[in-house]
Structure 1
Amino acid sequence: MTPSLPTLPLSQLGGPGKGQFKYDFIIVGGGTAGCVLASRLSLLPGSPTVLLLERGGSDRGWMSSTPLMSTSWQMDEKKCSSIPTVPQQGLDGRVCDMLGGKILGGASTFNSSLYTRGLPSEFNIWASQFDLPSWSFSKLLPYFISSQNHRPNSSPIADLLPPSNTASAYTGADGPWATTNPSVFTYPSSKHFVVARAGFGEGLKIGLGALVHKLDLDHDGTCKGVWFSEDGKPESTLLHASCCQETILTSGTVFSTQLLLLSGIGPKAELEELHITCLVDLPDVGRGLADHLSVYLPYTVPITDSLDRLENSPLHAIKQIASFALFRTGDFTFQGSQTAIMISSTHIPEILSEHSPYSKERPLWTSSLAEEEVPNLEILPLPFRFHSSMDDGKPDGKTPDLRKGKYNKSVGYLSPISILVRPKSTGTIKLKSKDPREIPACDPGFLTDPADLPVLIQGLRLAAKVVDGMIAGGYDVKPIEKNNPFAFGKECSDDELKAYVKKWAVPAYHMSSTLRMSGQENDGVVDGCLRVKGCKGLRVADASVFPTILAVHTQAPVVVVAEKCATMIGEEWSKASH
C-alpha cells in the first residue's frame, strides 16, 4: 500500500517570525527534481528534517497513474502553469505558451512518460567546455542506471516504418534502438520516488499551495530560510521557515530563476530598475533561456490505427478502459510515442537523395561523437491529432487543446512532429515586477539564430519522406490538404516551409539553462556542486542549471541532477555528523 504523504497546513510549517520553525534542509519546488531530493535527503543518516514546499497541490487519482490520460493535465490550469512568451519575432510575432508543472511531481506528471537519457558526447561537452569534470557521462552513468528500468518494446507500431534504405538511417550501430513500453506501467511521475520506490524519512514535511516570495539572505549571501504564503490568497500571512543547513531551489527553469531575482541575486542594473536591493551581482541569472521548438505535419490514417478512435467510438473506449483496469494493457498504456528518430541534420540531404541510398551506420552511443554529429533533430510520429486546428482554425501558439476545433471524426490522424533539439537560439527571463505572483517575461528567442530555421526545414522534409515510404508500402495515409505543405506529393520550396514553420511551430516545454552551471570563476550562476556563486547554503537542482540544452526530453537528466545533488549534500552531511 502506498504510504500517506506527510503534508501539513502551511501554518504548521512556518511562522510570522524568524526562528519559530527550523529545518535542516528546505526544498523549494516539489517537481521532478524536488521529489527526488526530498526522498533522498530525508533518508540520510540521523533523520534530518526536510521541508518541501510546492506551489500546487497533489493528485493521486486514476488519471495520474494512467499514461495516456495524464497528458491531459497540460490543459488543466490547476495542475499546470501556462507561461506566455513575449512576442516571438522569429515566429512572426506570435505569443506562445510554455508550460510548467504546478502539482507535486511537476512536469513529470504530464510529460507523456518520455524518459530519454541522451548521448554521452553531450555530457562530455559540458565537462570539457565548462570545466565540469564531475559531470562527464562516465560520472553520471551510475545515476542514470539507478533510476531506469528497461523492458523490451512490445509495440508493433515501429513495424509501420518503411522497409527501405531510408530506414537504415534510423538505426544505431546494432540496429534499431529498443524503447520501453511495458504492458504495466509504474507510477509515471516523480512522486513515485517519494511515495513508492525510494520512500521517505520521518523528518520530511510537505507544504502544498505554498507561494515562496523570496529567500531570507544575510548581507554576506548566506541563505537563512524562506518567506512564503498560501498561493491564491494575497491577504494570507507571510510565513517564515528557517534553514540550518541548505536551501535547494527545484522550481523549474522559470520559477527558480524568478526566485533568485526576487531575492536580490542577479544582474544588478536590472534589479535596481525594479527597486530590488542587489545582494549578489550575478549577470548570468536569467540569461541563456533555451527550449526545443516543434512543428508537425498533419495526415489522416484509418481510424482503427489512431488513438482518436477512443474519442470517436464510445464502445471502443469502454473496451480499452476495461482492458487497462483489469489487465493494465491496451490503448491507455500508451505514453505519447513509441518510436523516435534522432538524427543530425547534416545527414538528411543524403537520405533524401533518391540516387544516394543512405547505408552508413554510425555507432551513435559513444563518448567520442563529434559535436556536429550529435543529433539536432527528433522526429516523433504521434498517432492522434496534435493540434485542434489540424483540419480547421488558425494557429495561436497556445497549448494544443484537442477538445476544441473542427475535425473529421470518421478518420484517424497521424502527426509526425519535427523537434529542434539543439537550438542555437537562446533568450532571457526577466522580472516584470516585484510581485512573486506575476509570471516573469520569458523570451526564448525562437529562431533568432539563422542556423535554426534550416534545421527544422530539414526535419519536415525527413518526416514527409518517412510518410512517403509508408504510402509506397501500401499504407493508407493521406496528407491533409489544407494545412500540410506536402499535400499530394507537392514539391515545397524552402521559402514555403519557412513560412509554415513560422506559422505553426510551438514550444516543446523543455526550458533550461537560465542558471547554468560552470566551473569557471566568472561564468555561469552555479558551480559544479550546484552552489549559487557568491552565496552560502543555497543550491539549484533543476533544468535551469544545464550549461546547454540537451537533445533529450529533460526528465531523465533532471532526475540525475537531483540524484547527484543529493549525493553531494549527503557526503557533506556525513562529514559534519562525525
Structure 2
Amino acid sequence: MFSHSVRAALLLSALSSSSLGALLQSADDAADQLTSTHYDYIIVGAGAAGGALANRLTEDGSTKVLLIEAGSSDYNNTNIEVPWLAPVLTHSQFDWNYTTTPQEGLDNRSIAYARGKVLGGSTSINYMIYTRAAQDDWNRFASVTGDDGWNWSNILSYAKKLEAFQNSPNVQNATSKFVANIHGTNGPVGAGLPQVSLPIDQIGLNAQQELSSEFKYNQDVNSGNMIGFSWTPFAIQDGARSNSARDYIQPALGRSNLDVLVNTQVTKVLQTGTDGNTPIVNAVQFTSGPNEKLYNLTANKEVILSAGSIGTPQILLLSGIGPADQAKSLGIQSIVDLPDVGQNMQDHPLLTTNFQVSSNDTLDNLSLNTTFQAEQLALWTNNRTGDFTLGACNQWAWQRLADDDPIFKNVSDPSAGPTSPHFQLIFSDLFIAFSGGAFPSGHFLTLISNLYTPTTRGSLTLNSTDPFTYPIINPGLLNDENGFDIYTMRQALKAGRRFLAANAWKDWIISEFGESANATSDADIDAYIRKNALVVNHVSGTVAMGKSGDSSKGAGALNPDLSVKGVKGLRVVDASAFPHIPAAHTMVPTYILAERAADLIKNSNSTASGSKSGSGNGAFTPSATLVSVFAPLVALVALLL
C-alpha cells in the first residue's frame, strides 16, 4: 500500500492527464456533463458497497459509471482519518443523524442511528472493526437464497481479494494473533492488528488462559469460526482509517469512465418502459437539496441502489416499489407490489458497563491529560504512530450460549450455526458511556456486551412523500415475544463479569462502577439493560434476498443475484440485502457482498449492447471548465499532503 505522501504525488501526477474521471460537487453545477454522458450504470450511495462497485465495474474501460453520494467529498477530513477520533463523527455533518421511534424494549426511548453521509458512507464514520462473519452465516445466506455462490467456500476468495492485510512490524508477536494464509495482501482495503500494546493486553491473555474452558483462544476471528477470545483487527493501515472512499473510489478517479457526483440526493428511481408485462426501472431522479431543481437520468444497463439499509428502502418506497397498500395510502403510484421492502429490519443491541481500575496507565489519559493528548496527536500527525492509531479495543471475545442452555427448551437457536456467536464482549481500556453523561475522574475499563443473534424484526415505513423527511425507523430492539434477546443480553453481561472476575484482574479492577453495580438479580439486570442499551448501528435486512421469483410476503424482495423482484434494470447491493443480519460487524460482509455483486453484474450484462441513450430532463448548458472540474481534486491533494 502507498503511503499518504506517495498517494498524494500519484494524484497530483494524474491531474495532468485528460483521462481523469470527474469529481462533481453538485447536480446543478454538473448538469450538462451528466446528461451529455451515456452511463452504463448509475450507483446510488458511495458507502462500502457503492465504492466497491464503482471501482470494480470501471475496471472495464468500456463501461461508464456514475456514482452519486448525498454527502460531501470530504473523506480526508482529519476527524475521519484519525482512528481514535471516530466517536466525534457521530452527530456531525458526516452523519445522517437518524432517530428511531420510541423502542418499547428500551423503556420507550428513541435512540440515534448513525449512518455515514460522506464519500465512504458509514465506512468513513464507523469504528473500523474488521470481521468477515462466520462460515455458518454465509452458508445460511446460500441456503435461504438457493444460491451456493453465497456459501463460505465461494465468498472466501472475495474476502481475500478485497484485503491488504498488513503484518506491521509494530505489532508485537503478530504471528500468534492472526493466521496469515487466510488473508489477502494485495487488495484495496487496508487492514491489520492494533500497533500499540496496552497494559491490559497481557492481563486479558492471562484471564483467558485461566478461564479457557469457557473462553477458548481463537487465533483469527476471520477464519470462518468466530468463537473465542481473540485480537481485534481493524480497517486501519499506516495509522489511518481505511474506508471505501480512500481504498476503492480514490484510485478509480484516475479512470475516465467514472464520474462521482456528491452533495446530491436521489429521490426515487423511475420506470422507463416495459419488457412484456415487466416494468423496466433504470432511471433515477435526483436533486441538490429540498426545493431545488429535479433531474432525471437513465442508465444504459442498470441502476444499483447502495444507499444503505435506511436509504435504499426509502428510495424504493418513494418510487412505488414496495407494499402496494403503503404506496396507495400516500398517493404513490405502485410499480410493483413487493411487501418485503422495508421489512425484516435487524440490528445488534449494545450495552456499556464500567469498572474502576487501580492503574493510572489507561487510555483515559487521552481525555484527562491535555499535554499527553497533544503529544499523541503530534505523533499521529508527524508519522501516523501512537495512541491515535488505536480503535475501540485490542481484545474481545465472541461467545455462544451453551447447547443445553435452558432458553433452548422454548426457543429455537436463532444463530446460523456453531461457528456463529450469540454475543460479543469488548474490553476497552478507558471509560465509555455511549448513552452520555459526565466523564468521571479516575481510570476505567469498559465492558461492551452486544447481542449478535437478535430474533426481533423491525420495519421502515414512509413518513411522507417528501424524500427529505426521514422515514419511520422502528428496529423493535429487545422487543421479541419469546424473550431470547433480553435473556441473551443478560447472559452476555454475566459472562463479561465472569471474565473480569478472573484472578488475573484482581490487582487491576477495583470494582464495577455506577448503577450497574447494583444490578445483581436477573430482574435488576434486565431493567439496567432496558434503561441503558443502545445499538451497534449495523442496521440490515430491509430489502432482503430470497429465492428467485417468489415475491410473496416473507420471500424476500431481491433475487439471489440482488436484482429487484418484479422489475428489470434495478439492483440492490448493500447491507439491506442480507436476509439475516451477520453475527459480526457488518462492514466487511458488505464489502464481500459488493465484490461478488460486481462479478454478477458484469456477467449478466456481458452481452448487453449498451446502445440506449442516457437522456435527462433537458435544460442543461455546457459543463464547467477543466479548472472547476479539477478543483475538488486539487483540494483533495492538499488534504493528502
TM range (shorter): 0.7 to 0.9
| Further displaced range: 58-67 or 416-425 | 58-67
Give the aligned partner of residue 27 of structure 1: 43
Give the aligned partner of residue 225 of structure 1: 283
| Further displaced range: 269-278 or 376-385 | 376-385
Residue pairs, 1:97-496, within 5 angstroms:
97-148=112-163, 149-151=165-167, 152=174, 153=193, 154=195, 155-156=197-198, 157-161=200-204, 162=207, 164-172=209-217, 177-180=230-233, 184-185=238-239, 187-195=241-249, 201-218=255-272, 220=274, 221-231=279-289, 234-302=290-358, 304-346=360-402, 371=417, 374-387=420-433, 400=435, 405-409=437-441, 411-449=442-480, 450-469=483-502, 472-485=505-518, 492-496=520-524
Residue pairs, 1:82-93, within 5 angstroms:
82-93=97-108
Q: Distance in 2 between matches of 1:519 and 1:314?
A: 56
Give the aligned partner of residue 54 of structure 2: 38
| Cα shift readout 1:491-514 (whole Å, capped 9, x = no counterpart) | x11111111111011011000001
| Corresponding residue SS for 1:11 | coil
**1:470 offset after TM fit, Å?**
5.6
Q: Which amino acid is 1:217 matched to?
A: Q
CA contact (8 A) 1:471 1:477 kept: no
Report % sequence identity: 29
Give the aligned partner of residue 527 of structure 2: 499
| Cα shift readout 1:126-171 (whole Å, capped 9, x = no counterpart) | 2123312110011100110112215335534432222554244333
| Corresponding residue SS for 1:10 | coil
Q: Distance in 1 between matches of 2:251 and 2:241?
A: 9
| Further displaced range: 153-162 or 206-215 | 153-162
Q: Distance in 2 between matches of 1:70 and 1:481?
A: 25
| Further displaced range: 157-166 or 326-335 | 157-166
Give the aligned partner of residue 75 of structure 1: 91
Q: Distance in 2 between matches of 1:21 and 1:198?
A: 18
CA contact (8 A) 1:214 1:227 kept: yes
CA contact (8 A) 1:264 1:277 kept: yes
| Further displaced range: 163-172 or 563-572 | 163-172
**1:438 offset after TM fit, Å?**
0.9
| Corresponding residue SS for 1:418 | strand
Q: Distance in 2 between matches of 1:195 and 1:434?
A: 32
Q: Distance in 1 between matches of 2:126 and 2:459?
A: 24
Distance change in 2, residues 1:484/1:21 (3 Å): farther
1:10 aligned residue (9, 14, 27): 27
**1:212 offset after TM fit, Å?**
1.0
Give the aligned partner of residue 539 of structure 2: 511
CA contact (8 A) 1:117 1:552 kept: yes
Q: Which amino acid is 1:343 matched to?
A: Q
**1:310 offset after TM fit, Å?**
1.0
* TM-score normalised according to structure 1 size: 0.87
CA contact (8 A) 1:429 1:442 kept: yes
| Corresponding residue SS for 1:289 | coil
CA contact (8 A) 2:145 2:559 kept: no
| Corresponding residue SS for 1:484 | helix
Q: Distance in 2 between matches of 1:110 and 1:413?
A: 25
**1:173 offset after TM fit, Å?**
6.3
CA contact (8 A) 1:14 1:241 kept: no
Distance change in 2, residues 1:302/1:316 (3 Å): farther
Could you list the runs of 5+ residues in structure 2 that have no partner in the other structure? 1-6, 16-20, 168-173, 175-192, 220-227, 407-414, 611-641
Give the aligned partner of residue 222 of structure 2: none
Q: Distance in 2 between matches of 1:371 and 1:319?
A: 46
| Cα shift readout 1:105-145 (whole Å, capped 9, x = no counterpart) | 01111211101011101111121233121100111001101
- Match status 1:571 vs 2:603: yes
**1:198 offset after TM fit, Å?**
6.1
Give the aligned partner of residue 177 of structure 2: none
**1:63 offset after TM fit, Å?**
2.5
| Corresponding residue SS for 2:467 | coil
Q: Distance in 2 between matches of 1:150 and 1:408?
A: 37
Q: Distance in 2 between matches of 1:508 and 1:370?
A: 20
| Cα shift readout 1:55-110 (whole Å, capped 9, x = no counterpart) | 1102213332211113321131x100122111111112111111211111011112
Distance change in 2, residues 1:325/1:349 (3 Å): farther
| Cα shift readout 1:510-541 (whole Å, capped 9, x = no counterpart) | 00001001124322111111100111111000
Give the aligned partner of residue 365 of structure 1: none
- Root-mean-square deviation (CA, aligned residues, Å) is 2.6
CA contact (8 A) 1:229 1:238 kept: yes
CA contact (8 A) 1:134 1:528 kept: no
Distance change in 2, residues 1:140/1:314 (3 Å): same
| Cα shift readout 1:312-347 (whole Å, capped 9, x = no counterpart) | 111111221222233322110111122111011226
Distance change in 2, residues 1:347/1:294 (3 Å): farther
Q: Distance in 2 between matches of 1:21 and 1:184?
A: 37
| Corresponding residue SS for 2:374 | helix
| Further displaced range: 111-120 or 65-74 | 65-74
Q: Distance in 1 between matches of 2:67 and 2:218?
A: 44
| Further displaced range: 102-111 or 305-314 | 305-314
2:594 aligned residue (546, 549, 562): 562
| Corresponding residue SS for 1:298 | strand
Give the aligned partner of residue 109 of structure 2: 94
2:569 aligned residue (528, 537, 542): 537
| Further displaced range: 20-29 or 109-118 | 20-29
Give the aligned partner of residue 412 of structure 2: none
Distance change in 2, residues 1:299/1:176 (3 Å): closer
Give the aligned partner of residue 18 of structure 2: none
Distance change in 2, residues 1:70/1:335 (3 Å): same
**1:308 offset after TM fit, Å?**
2.1
CA contact (8 A) 1:266 1:283 kept: yes
| Corresponding residue SS for 1:107 | helix
Distance change in 2, residues 1:44/1:187 (3 Å): farther
| Further displaced range: 59-68 or 308-317 | 59-68
CA contact (8 A) 2:147 2:560 kept: yes
Distance change in 2, residues 1:496/1:476 (3 Å): closer
